[in-house]
Amino acid sequence: MLATTKQARADAVWSGTPGTDPSKTRAARARSQPKTARVKPIIVRQVPQFVEPQLCTLVDRPPQNPGWAHEVKFDGYRAQLHVQHGRAVIRTRTGLDWTDRFAAIARDANALPDCVIDGEVVALDQRGLPSFAALQAALSEEKSEDLVFFAFDLLFEGREDLRTLPLMERKARLEKLLAAGGVGNRIRYVAHLESNAEAVLSSARKMGLEGIVSKRLDAPYRSGRSGSWTKAKCRAGQEVVLGGWTTEHGTLRSLLAGVHRDGRLVYVGRIGTGYGRAVVKALLPRLQKLTREKSPFAGDNAPPKERNVRWLKPTLVADIEFAGWTGSGMIREAAFKALREDKDASDIVAEMPTQTPPSATIKRGHAKVSAASAGPSVMGVSISNPDKALWPDAGDDRPVTKLDLARYYESVGEWMLPHLTGRPCSLVRAPDGVGGEQFFQRHAMAGMSKLFDTVKVRGDSAVYLQIDRVEALAAVAQIGGLELHPWNCTPNDPEVAGRLVFDLDPAPDVKFAAVIAAAHEIRDRLKAVGLVSFCKTTGGKGLHVVTPLTGKNAVTWPVAKNFAHLICAQMAQDSPTSYLDTMSKSRRAGRIFLDYLRNDRTSTAVAVLSPRARLGATVSMPLAWKDVKPGLAPQAFTVRTAPRLLGRTNAWKDYAGGARSLAAAIVKITRASGERRA
């Protein structure tokens, strides 16, 4: 069960044990909760019409310490229910009056005594799980009868302002108020768990829920975002039948997916990402062999035949990861993971999650956990020696463990993946942490995880590693991979430049303000020849300026390197006391080395958001240009702070759209260079 209108035990979010004595449950809960000083409610003259809601801070994992309550993260509309003198008003999180849109809930709430309740309006699907698509449909059709208000906090009761009370007391009063109110099934109390947070999140993931919200039981209600409420999100996966594929420039662009419904193969959408060079090489022959003239899809939503669409005999089964199902039964943001050789295509249906049985549910007090969740696992990868410290701290006097690293990669993996996919990637490994031995690994090794892809490049008999799926990042953490260094080529084509990286490396006596000024100067010079650039910290004392290149009129590496050198040489020529474009140690003092050498075929640069194998657990943080200014502190971006800060910035938002032709830029800079000489 997700919630209830009756008084509920603290473990009643997903399941309950029949026959449990409520008094014993409450007694156990009271013993486990933190002791806080007794706080009394404040009596107010007038209840405000609207209270700014408390918001959650996105975290990479839920808090593990005792004293936290874990609730379902609902996929709906946040709402505030005000009842005064038998009349209910429902406002949105911004204070808009949506009482008419949630009319059925408001009618039921009229029976409540005067109060202000924080909650979420949700539509439930046939399985009793939140469905945002169903909610949107209900609102567009002005049908509120099937909507549910999930109540999770009580802010006012009568003229008593309860916000200063600890959450555990506010929830107890809310539970009692709703139980006595006789409001029916449209207004439900949200119960919670106080058990192992990881197991709760795992259970939520298996059920297909959006995630969990964790709240400090001893905390008051604070408007705005604070650390006492956090949220952790889930991921989803599905097996599909391949019924077609599309091509672009002679290679694989996307796969057309389907599942069986009512004995027919119905189309559920396209799989648009996840195709590394090795994947394409292995997959294309099988697709070509199974290509046929007739579409295998049936039903009204079967895709039409387009010029670049080829149909398949529906025998291949693929495993995908995706963001969820739309209301019309289509997959969202799907990425290819692998073919499933052990599955019969005729058995593939949409796998709608079922509720976790009681035997697999965590119970507070005796912490019953399924065997699968007994050990730490991140994105399906078991993490051995999870408590091994890889960094002494991240500027917070707390060791950063191997499990912390895996969870960091999980939290930023989707952001990183477009900058890694399709490119050979080297690793800096430190299995015993930054204080132990470190080594730079370019090639795949025997016994490595199958989550890694591999790629062969011209001139090297050994295969290179490649990271084409987010789960591979957890495998990186498992082997002590602290840094990621991808090639800068075009995805799936190592011979062609896909981006340029200008590494601004200051001498020890150069102030960081000068590095900031140098980054802006490179940006201006690139803009003058038609290129768009982006900035990131290096995780050290410098900055990287990155410019994405389009595959159209692509150039080879020697040409790209010469262009990058020309930009740097002109800067050094114009300001010889500030910059140099050679690695001469004798001339470094007081200058910034403009390192263009990253722009060569087999050269690498640390990936955006990659941690660094150095003290402080810093990362290479993407920056908005407006933030590249005096006062910027690169050491503030660590494996602990970056996920939270990433959610607050639009840095690199238009990176893909910023790709420009290097060939056109070369024409412009060549013309400008000629004018300089003249």
d(CA 569, CA 616): 34
Q: What are phi and psi of 465, to 5 degrees?
A: -75, 155
- Find, among 658, 593, 660, the residue nearest to 625 by Cα: 658
H-assigned helices in 164-222? 167-181, 197-207
Residue type, 283: L
Cα–Cα separations (whole angstroms), residue 372 to 382, 401, 634: 10, 22, 39
Burial 17-37 (b: 16+ CB within 10 A, else e): eeeeeeeebeebbeeebeeee
Give residues with Cβ within 8 angstroms of 334, minimum separation 6: 257, 269, 270, 271, 272, 273, 320, 321, 322, 323
Angle at 518 between CA 512 and CA 519, to 5 degrees: 95
- The SS3 assignment for 4 reads strand
Residues paired with residue 629 on neighbouring β-strands, in sequence order: none
Burial 343-354 (b: 16+ CB within 10 A, else e): eebeebeeeeee
Angle at 327 between CA 323 and CA 328, to 5 degrees: 105
d(CA 223, CA 56): 10
Q: How far is CA 257 from the centre of its chain?
A: 24
- Find, among 421, 667, 659, 457, the residue nearest to 559 by Cα: 667
Q: Which residues are catalytic?
A: 73
Residues paired with residue 312 on neighbouring β-strands, in sequence order: 291
d(CA 169, CA 36): 11
Structure tokens at 328: 């019309």
Strands 579-580 and 622-623: unpaired
**Burial, 612: exposed, middle or buried (Cβ in 10 Å; 0-12, 13-18, 19+)?**
buried
Give residues with Cβ within 8 angstroms of 177, minimum separation 6: 112, 113, 115, 154, 157
d(CA 52, CA 493): 51
Give residues with Cβ within 8 angstroms of 502, minimum separation 6: 522, 544, 545, 546, 564, 567, 568, 594, 595, 596, 598
3 state SS for 403-435: HHHHHHHHHHHHHHHHHCCCCEEEEEECCCCCC
